[in-house]
Structure formats: C-alpha cells, structure tokens
Amino acid sequence: MIRAFRYAYILAKVYGVLARTYVGNNFHDLLRLKNLEEIFDRLFPGQRAQLPEESLPTELEARIVRAAIAAMADVLAQLGNPPAILVHILRRYEYQGLKSVIRSLLRQGLETPVVWDIGKYAQADLAGAKDYEKAIASSPYAWVLPLLQSRKPFEIENMLDRDYYSRLLQLARALAPRDRSGVLRLVGLEIALANAVWALRLRFFFGLDAAASRPLFVPRMIDAHRRALGEAFEIPADSVEGWRKWKYSWLIDDQLGESFRSPDPIRAEQKANRRLAERAHQLFHEDPFTLTPLAAYFKLKELEEGMLKIAVEARRLSVPENEVLSLVGAG
C-alpha cells in the first residue's frame, strides 16, 4: 500500500511535466519560433545569458540534456530505493559519455569528450575524471579498454549498445509480474526497433552483409524478428515492392516514392522514435500503481531530449518546419 501511494504521488507530479513535453503538438509550436534565442527563452525562461551567438546552440543542447537527467534523477530520489531498471535507463547518458570518451582516446585527445553528470547513479566517474582511462579501469566498463587496440570505433560502440540493451532486457524480465508486463511491452519494442534501424545502418552506411552483421544485433530475438533482420540485407536496395513487404516497412514507407534508391536509416530511426513515443504515451496512462508509467515517463524524457536537439539544429540551419516534421516522421 505504501508503494502504491508513493507511485500515485510521483505520477501526479510528473503528469503535469509530461503535458508540457515537446513530443507531439508542443514540438510543432517550438518549430514555429523564429530563432535560437526564442527557443532558449521558451525552454528555460529567464535563464539566457549574454552568450556569443556561435555558443548558443552548444549551451542550449547541454541544458536540454541536463534537464532530462535532472527530471529522471528527481524521480529516482523521490523513490528512495529506486528500481534498478529506472537507474539503468538513466545510465543511458553514462553510456553516451563513455562512447564519447572512447572516441577521444582513439583520436589521441583531438576530440573533446562530452560526458554527463548523473550523480550518485554513475558507475564510472567520467564527469569528474582527469584521467579517463583510470576512471574506466576502476568501473564495470573496464572490459572496454583492451578493445581500443583491436576493434574499430563503431564495433566498440555497438558492443556498448548491446551491453546496455541486454542489461535492460534482463532487468525488465526480472521484475515482479505486476510490473513486468507493461515494461516489457516498452522494452521489447525499443529493442526490436533498435535492431531494425541498426540493420539498415549496417547495410547502407557500413556496407556489411547479413553474416557480418548478425553478431552485432541485440540477442534473444523472436524468430519473426530475426527473419526480418535477415531480409533487410536481401531486399534489392531500390526495390519499392520489396521494401513494402518488409516487416518494418512502416519505418520507410514515406521514402518509397519515384525517386527512391535505398532506405535512409536516419529517417527510419526518427520514425522508430515516434512509434516508441506513441507506445510510451499509451503505457504512461495504464496500470497507474505499477512501474510501467514511470518507465514510460523516463523513455519520453529521453525521446524529448532528442527532439529538442533536432529543433535546435533545425533552427540553427534555418530548416523549414515541414522538412523537420517530415524528418521526424510527423509531417
């Protein structure tokens, strides 16, 4: 009963936050703002310093990420002893930072790493590290360091992605029955879509075939999903009819026009994110005394962060609203 009251209290607080998120109609409104200053003032009223114009996008994007982290950390703090799966979802930002550090190490420091402070929930002290290799070596991510000498950057990043998703699935399956069903509906969709988009990236960005790509997917797939990933490497690149028959054809159906030459994985990923947001919105309003709405809220905050960064980049480059909406699958 105590847990039910606590969840109800937290949900009452985050419900108002969710109504203001920029995933949906609010995103359309944001795109209608004229410049980055207006976006900054809309997102962070009264907080815009007199920054040089060229610094504004970087500062704005950093604030967007920090705001998403703060929103999740606030929920974790209110829970007291938060479920491990929610902590793991927050650690997605630690995985991102770790990938950035690895790229910097491989380029001998020519690229400044971007790391995010997730406070006491971090497993590696990347935010305060002076020696990144030492910080990684003393963390659960130490297994990454030997790979720097033998693996390509995209392979290491893929291994980190698979580590994140495998742990996410493990934690979802270990939940109590009342929590497991809804959370698995969200996690299962996220992993299936991540694999589908990754198949398109591996084929059309990295030029890999099905055999070389097979070890790079998140494991424990159902047979239908496994077959669909294999078909992504067999369908002729420019076959409109072939792609229309694909299990995940809806990811690219808006691309299948007369000028179609091959799927664009970036646009497919945005369609996947939109479908994931729709599922998360649906699950947020189901089973209010379970973990499902909180897991959905965390996913929506993560997706919102990505949408806001797209809006910032679009306004910086003066991309028309209709083109942005088409890119994110909302046009």
pLDDT confidence of residue 221: 75
pLDDT band at residue 330 under the 50/70/90 scheme? low
pLDDT at site 229: 95
Residue at 41 is within a domain:
no
How many domains would you assign to the chain?
A: 1
Residue 25 has pLDDT above 70, yes or no: yes
In the structure, what pLDDT confidence band is assigned to residue 49 with cuts at 50, 70 and 90? Answer: confident
Which pLDDT band, with edges at 50, 70 and 90, does 10 fall under? Answer: confident
User: Is 260 inside any structural domain?
Assistant: yes
Give the pLDDT score at 327: 66
Who's near 295: CB < 8 A, 6+ residues apart?
85, 86, 89, 182, 183, 186, 187, 283
Indicate the DSSP class of residue 222.
-
* Residue-range definition of the domain harbouring residue 219: 175-290
Q: How many whole angstroms separate alpha carbon 87 and alpha carbon 83? A: 7
| Domain annotation covers residue 196 | yes
Nearest C-alpha neighbor of 175 from the set 292, 296, 8: 292
User: pLDDT confidence of 301, banded at 50, 70, 90?
Assistant: very high
pTM of the model: 0.92
**Comparing 33-37, 97-101, 158-162, 325-329, which segment has the lowest mean pLDDT?**
325-329
Residue 2 pLDDT grade (very low, low, confident, very high; cuts 50, 70, 90): low
- Residue 46 located in a structural domain: no
Chain position carrying tokens 């299948």: 256
Instruction: Report the percent of the chain where pLDDT is more than 70.
Output: 98
Instruction: With beta carbons less than 8 A apart as the criterion, state whether 321 and 331 touch.
Output: no
**What average pLDDT does range 188-206 have in this prediction?**
96
- What was the pLDDT predicted at 107? 87
Least-confidence region, from 14-28, 140-154, 274-288, 299-313? 14-28
pLDDT at residue 113, as a whole number: 93
* pLDDT in the model for residue 209: 96
Average pLDDT of the residues in 97-105: 95
Q: For residue 204, what pLDDT band results from cuts at 50, 70 and 90?
A: very high
- For range 28-47, the mean pLDDT: 87
* Residue 190: inside a domain: yes
Residue 47 has pLDDT above 90, yes or no: no
Question: Considering the domain boundaries, does residue 264 fall inside one?
Answer: yes
Quick check: is 90 in a domain?
A: no
pLDDT in tens, 273-290: 999 999 999 999 988 888
What six digits make up the tokens of 234? 């067999």
Gap between the Cα atoms of 129 and 151, Å rounded: 24
Mean pLDDT rounded to a whole number for the chain: 91
